Amino acid sequence: MRVLGIESSCDETGLALYDTERGLLAHAVHSQVAMHEIYGGVVPELASRDHIRRLIPLLDQVLSASQCTRQAIDAIAYTAGPGLAGALLAGASFAESLGQALAVPTLPVHHLEGHLLSPLLAADAPAFPFIALLVSGGHTQLMHVAGVGQYELLGESLDDAAGEAFDKTAKLLGLGYPGGPALANLASTGKPGHFKLPRPMLHSGDLSFSFSGLKTAVLTLVRNAAWTAAGSADLAAEFQEAVTEVIAAKALAACHQRRLFRLVVAGGVGANLRLRERLNSTLAKVGGRVFYPELDLCTDNGAMIAFCGAQRLAQGLTKPMNQGAFAIRPRWPLNQLSAEFSGG
């Protein structure tokens, strides 16, 4: 079965074609970073309009790269949520219309489930069950994953997600958009420890996260200290150390809690090299292992949506109950999926 995947939840338009026998045939992503950069963040209306412009050219690109025609598509999976309402609607309407035209089934997919399952696309894929760490611009969550559609939330951010904290701190330091990668690059030239930042909820005894106070601590230092470029690099390094230390400690605690030392990391922040170093060393000390998606599949992409749709279709799972065509879900808790999907 060949499944077309369509991702349009925020500021990347991604399409991919996945074959259940041959694997990922092709995928293409258009990033809107350059368009939103002058505004310092994503403008939802502009994002939605750009998705509409990009969908058909990207579809043609993917089909050409995979040497397939539209008639070779057996099913279409698309991101129905969570995300920006207009952006989701652009992808959903395109997917449902194409499904009608080709007379093939369509399947709304949860954006975070796509991220969560994306490491399974790698040649060395993890086996179920595992602990999943979802770290993206809008989410920092720890999940116990027993199988496709079987997700139990163990802990999440109570305020800013790690990606949000990176972006907001980057803005405080006068860095460009997107802030997360810019801050990580700056941190690589600095030394942690020159400034002292808190490690929020490191010893809270639960699996919750909180990064809003860390951002405020950076703001206080920026306002009260004599600032130089060298100081910015050291502060960026200390900020990155604080975030990665907390995430690694919480991930390890989740593994101990479930006595399960296979950790899957997904989401854009999962591409952060310092976070990978910390997680790898932390799990190695207890005989565990960390699995990641390929670097080009860490950010939003159609490949993870196509793969997720293929896994659900293989289990006979179609649309979530009470969700018809075009019924996007800008807010959609991942741990509700087991109850919302029906078989057949």
The rounded percent of the chain whose pLDDT value lies above 90 is 82
CA 101 to mean position of chain CA atoms:
30
Q: Is the pLDDT of residue 121 over 70?
A: yes
Query: What integer is the mean pLDDT of 301-327?
Result: 80
Confidence category of residue 67, pLDDT binned at 50, 70, 90: very high
CATH superfamily, domain 128-292, is ATPase, nucleotide binding domain (3.30.420.40)
Residue 62 burial (CB < 10 Å; 0-12/13-18/19+)? buried
Confidence category of residue 178, pLDDT binned at 50, 70, 90: confident
DSSP class of 124: S
- Give me the half-sphere count of Cα atoms (radius 13 Å) on the Cβ side of residue 313: 25
Which tokens go with 321?
Answer: 């109950």
Query: What integer is the mean pLDDT of 156-181?
Result: 92
Position 341 scores a pLDDT of 57
- Closest by CA to 228, choosing from 171, 185, 174, 167, is 174
Tens-digit pLDDT profile for residues 233-289: 999 999 999 999 999 999 999 999 999 999 999 999 999 999 999 999 999 999 999
Confidence category of residue 137, pLDDT binned at 50, 70, 90: confident
Position 206 scores a pLDDT of 97
Query: What integer is the mean pLDDT of 35-43?
Result: 91
DSSP class of 140: E
Check residues 129 and 41 and name the one with the higher pLDDT: 129
| DSSP assignments along 141-174, one per residue | EEEEEEETTEEEEEEEBSSS-HHHHHHHHHHHTT
Confidence category of residue 325, pLDDT binned at 50, 70, 90: low
Same fold, 2-117+297-343 and 128-292: yes
CA 313 to mean position of chain CA atoms:
22
15 DSSP β-pair partners: 6, 28
CATH (residue range 2-117+297-343): 3.30.420.40
Domain positions in the chain: 2-117+297-343, 128-292
